[in-house]
């Protein structure tokens, strides 16, 4: 094998590539020559009067040159993050739903790497700002890498991936003055929210206490998008993935978050690091919500719409496994920074759906990593699978793998490296029937944007509702453009009239006297229900 099987032990695998520095080691150049000085550049002159530096000095030049090129582009989103190693243990097989051994073989422990992040801030921004948190996992399964690239909130701002550059541009610092650096409190963010009614549900989550978590260890994680599970009989179910922390879900209060952002911008990073160093390993239960294919259209909402949750009273979450984080990274850059998650990384037994956000993500991650890390990013130790990799992909900048052989194409006269048959574990595509016109389409149920925002708000306790009111007032009060905050106040009336009136009182703008969308565009009959299949 090119990279060689590593027996599935990712930690041992990485350890074998890790260098430990000791006093026995001697300083060398990158090409291995021992150096006599790390302190003085080669110069002309005398011992009591050193003259100019000589460009000739290869050691000094190499040291400065390497330093000059230390930075790579930060992630275009989720630039600030913290990672850890751990393991995934399956407690209950769902063999009747999927043929992926990671979800059927309860005797296995699958090594994982996780990266938590904020979305909008730059790499050096503070941890406790109001923002969505990334919750991205790479499972190093024996059948290849499987990534769940999720967030700590179960829904998203947009329904179709083509809107992603817009939502991110509107949330990132404004183009003329690079203000604000991390928070959502500005004109463009709220301008976007108003112009996209589909964002209503998600901005309510972002204004809730979920957006100021107390610790990474106390957040839920959600795959958000709708994936599919395919079993050995070729049957397909729709699925959403959830992580629920053993410690419970806890948040900061806004005043704490603001103070910590100033006093201790590494608050979450340190908390995770110290918990793991002290052996207090964070744990999450892993759950799945499953809808049989036949019931796809049985709900008031579209189950492929990432701005909607699948309410648990309709689609129960079944907890089938557990995640534990038990080892801090050895080095931040080579592991936490260079890890590359892709929603397109799936293993046989798991598939995509026609969720238009997911389909676009499947292109975007791979593509961005080519500019962030280079085309051979999958060869970096943190990204390599634990199983053998063998194919005819070749060359590109910084290619490491050396493959022996005289052919690099298929088919070839040696029958070298043929595709795998299904019984050998080859990835099986679900034979989905697809037909229709080619057009820029949007499913009808995607057009209803308020009912779940209202469901979310109504599910809050009085204290939580007050926090949302204060968060909205704080944020909208930071918008200088009256068009932005007065329009947003009217939008809030689509969720709750009392909320919009209270916000209007605090930030200005005319208080609405009625709701613009009293029936929230509901057209479908009563909600359907589905039990956990099995
Ligand atoms: C990065 C989650 C939507 C493009 C990330 C990361 C997470 C995440 C957790 C950070 C991964 C890490 O720690 O390295 C989500 C979720 C989404 C979503 C849950 C909605 C369901 C999208 C969409 C696009 C997109 C629609 C583009 C069409 C990106 C890009 C990165 C990123 C380009 C940077 C990746 C890198 O440089 O490694 N996303 N995202 N995301 N996301 Fe998303």
DSSP state for residue 333 in the 8-state scheme: I
Does the beta carbon of 156 lie inside 6 Å of ligand 1?
Answer: yes
User: For the range 358-362, what are the long-range contacts, defined as Cβ-Cβ under 8 Å and sequence gap of 24 or more?
Assistant: 358/161, 358/225, 358/226, 358/227, 358/306, 359/161, 360/160, 360/161, 360/162, 360/164, 361/149, 361/161, 361/225
Ligand 1, closest atom to CA 222? 19
297 is catalytic: no
Can you point out the beta strands (E) in 190-226?
A: 221-222
For residue 529, the CA-to-ligand 1 centroid distance in Å is 31
DSSP state for residue 125 in the 8-state scheme: S
Q: Whose CA is nearest to atom 30 of ligand 1?
A: 365
Q: Whose CA is nearest to atom 3 of ligand 1?
A: 361
Nearest CA to 472 out of 204, 200, 233 is that of 204
Can you point out the beta strands (E) in 421-522?
A: none
Catalytic member of 47, 91, 96, 151 = 151
Which residues sit in the known binding site?
Answer: 365
Ligand 1, closest atom to CA 340? 38
What angle do helix axes 254-263 and 462-477 make, rounded to 10 degrees? 50
Catalytic member of 47, 69, 78, 400 = 78
- What is the CA angle 196-201-204, rounded to 5? 110
Q: What are phi and psi of 386, to 5 degrees?
A: -85, -10
**Which residue among 164, 220, 352 is best mutated to probe the pocket of ligand 1, counting the most ligand atoms within 8 A of its Cβ?**
164
pLDDT at 518: 55
Q: Whose CA is nearest to atom 32 of ligand 1?
A: 77
Does the beta carbon of 151 lie inside 6 Å of ligand 1?
Answer: yes
The Cα 381–Cα 328 span in angstroms is 16
Does the beta carbon of 240 lie inside 6 Å of ligand 1?
Answer: no
Does the beta carbon of 77 lie inside 6 Å of ligand 1?
Answer: yes
pTM assigned to the model = 0.95
Which residues sit in the known binding site for heme?
Answer: 365
Distances (CA, A) of 124 to 78, 113, 117, 342: 11, 22, 12, 23
Q: Where are the alpha helices (DSSP H) in 41-84?
A: 58-68
Query: How high is the ipTM of this complex?
Result: 0.95
Does the beta carbon of 341 lie inside 6 Å of ligand 1?
Answer: yes
pLDDT, mean of each 10-residue run, the chain (534 residues): 46 77 94 94 96 96 96 98 98 98 97 98 96 98 97 98 97 91 78 96 98 98 98 97 98 97 98 98 98 96 98 97 97 98 98 98 97 97 95 95 93 96 93 95 94 96 98 94 94 95 92 72 62 90
- Give the contacts of 289 (CB within 8 A, at least 6 positions apart): 239, 240, 242, 310, 312, 315, 316, 317, 318
For 375, half-sphere exposure in the C-beta direction (CA atoms, 13 angstrom radius) is 8
Does the beta carbon of 342 lie inside 6 Å of ligand 1?
Answer: no
pLDDT at 4: 36
DSSP state for residue 355 in the 8-state scheme: -
Burial 310-326 (b: 16+ CB within 10 A, else e): bbeebbbbbebbbbbbe
Does the beta carbon of 366 lie inside 6 Å of ligand 1?
Answer: no
- Rg of the chain over all Cα atoms, to the nearest angstrom: 26
For residue 128, the CA-to-ligand 1 centroid distance in Å is 20
Q: Whose CA is nearest to atom 7 of ligand 1?
A: 134
pLDDT at 181: 74
The Cα 111–Cα 142 span in angstroms is 10
Record the tokens describing residue 435, joined without a space. Answer: 């037909």
Does the beta carbon of 134 lie inside 6 Å of ligand 1?
Answer: yes
The Cα 501–Cα 488 span in angstroms is 11
Distances (CA, A) of 437 to 297, 353, 434, 445, 520: 20, 19, 10, 19, 29
Report the helix count and the strand count for the chain, using DSSP H and E: 12, 12
Record the tokens describing residue 36, joined without a space. Answer: 């006599």
Phi-psi region of 524 (alpha: psi -120 to 50; beta: other; left: phi over 0): beta
Does the beta carbon of 163 lie inside 6 Å of ligand 1?
Answer: no
The Cα 182–Cα 121 span in angstroms is 4
- Give the contacts of 534 (CB within 8 A, at least 6 positions apart): 94, 96, 97
Q: Where are the alpha helices (DSSP H) in 284-378?
A: 356-372
For residue 151, the CA-to-ligand 1 centroid distance in Å is 9
383 is catalytic: no
The Cα 94–Cα 102 span in angstroms is 10
Q: Please provide the DSSP assignment of 238-290 as one string.
A: EEEEEEEETT---B--HHHHHHHHHH-TTHHHHHHHHHHHTT---EEEEEEEE
- Give the contacts of 196 (CB within 8 A, at least 6 positions apart): 157, 158, 163, 167
**Which residue among 132, 138, 149, 334 is best mutated to probe the pocket of ligand 1, counting the most ligand atoms within 8 A of its Cβ?**
149
Ligand 1, closest atom to CA 368? 33
Q: Whose CA is nearest to atom 20 of ligand 1?
A: 156
Does the beta carbon of 306 lie inside 6 Å of ligand 1?
Answer: yes
């Amino acid at each position: 094998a090119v990279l060689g099987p590593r027996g599935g032990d990712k930690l041992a695998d990485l350890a074998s590539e890790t260098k430990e520095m000791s006093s026995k080691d001697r300083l060398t150049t990158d090409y291995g020559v021992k150096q006599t000085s790390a302190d003085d550049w080669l110069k002309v002159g005398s011992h009591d009067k050193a003259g100019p530096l000589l460009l000739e000095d290869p050691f000094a030049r190499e040291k400065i040159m390497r330093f000059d090129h230390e930075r790579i582009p930060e992630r275009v989103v989720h630039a600030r993050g913290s990672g850890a190693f751990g393991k995934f243990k399956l407690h209950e097989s769902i063999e009747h739903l999927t043929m992926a051994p990671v979800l059927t073989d309860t005797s296995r422990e699958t090594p994982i790497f996780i990266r938590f992040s904020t979305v909008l801030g730059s790499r050096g921004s503070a941890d406790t700002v109001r923002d969505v948190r990334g919750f991205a996992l790479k499972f190093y399964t024996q059948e290849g890498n499987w990534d769940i690239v999720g967030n700590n909130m179960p829904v998203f701002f947009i329904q179709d991936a083509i809107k992603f550059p817009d939502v991110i541009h509107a949330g990132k610092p404004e183009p003329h003055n690079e203000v604000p650096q991390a928070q959502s409190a500005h004109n463009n963010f709220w301008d976007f929210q108003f112009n996209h009614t589909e964002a209503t549900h998600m901005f309510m989550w972002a204004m809730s206490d979920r957006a100021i978590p107390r610790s990474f260890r106390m957040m839920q994680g959600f795959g958000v998008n709708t994936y599919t599970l395919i079993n050995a009989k070729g049957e397909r179910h729709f699925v959403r993935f959830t992580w629920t922390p053993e410690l419970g879900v806890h948040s900061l209060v806004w005043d704490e978050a603001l103070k910590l952002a100033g006093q201790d911008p590494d608050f979450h990073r340190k908390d995770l690091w110290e918990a793991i160093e002290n052996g207090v390993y964070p744990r999450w239960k892993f759950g799945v919500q499953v809808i049989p294919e036949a019931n796809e259209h049985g709900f008031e909402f579209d189950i492929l719409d990432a701005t909607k949750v699948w309410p648990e009273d309709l689609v129960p979450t079944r907890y089938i496994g557990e995640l534990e984080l038990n080892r801090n990274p050895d080095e931040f850059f080579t592991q936490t920074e260079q890890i590359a998650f892709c929603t397109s990384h799936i293993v046989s037994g798991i598939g995509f759906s026609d969720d238009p956000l997911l389909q676009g993500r499947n292109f975007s991650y791979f593509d961005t990593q080519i500019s962030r890390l280079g085309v051979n990013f999958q060869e970096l130790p943190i990204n390599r699978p634990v199983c053998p990799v063998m194919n005819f992909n070749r060359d590109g900048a910084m290619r490491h793998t050396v493959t022996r052989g005289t052919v690099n194409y298929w088919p070839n006269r040696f029958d070298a490296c043929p595709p795998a048959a299904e019984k050998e574990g080859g990835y099986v595509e679900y034979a989905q029937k697809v037909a229709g016109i080619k057009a820029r389409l949007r499913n009808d149920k995607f057009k209803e944007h308020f009912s779940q925002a209202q469901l979310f708000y109504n599910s809050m306790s009085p204290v939580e509702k007050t926090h949302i009111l204060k968060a909205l007032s704080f944020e909208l009060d930071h918008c200088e453009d009256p068009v932005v905050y007065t329009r947003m106040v009217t939008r809030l009336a689509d969720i709750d009239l009392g909320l919009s009136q209270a916000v209007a009182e605090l930030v200005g703008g005319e208080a609405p006297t009625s709701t613009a969308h009293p029936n929230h565009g509901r057209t479908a009959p009563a909600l359907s229900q589905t039990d956990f299949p099995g």
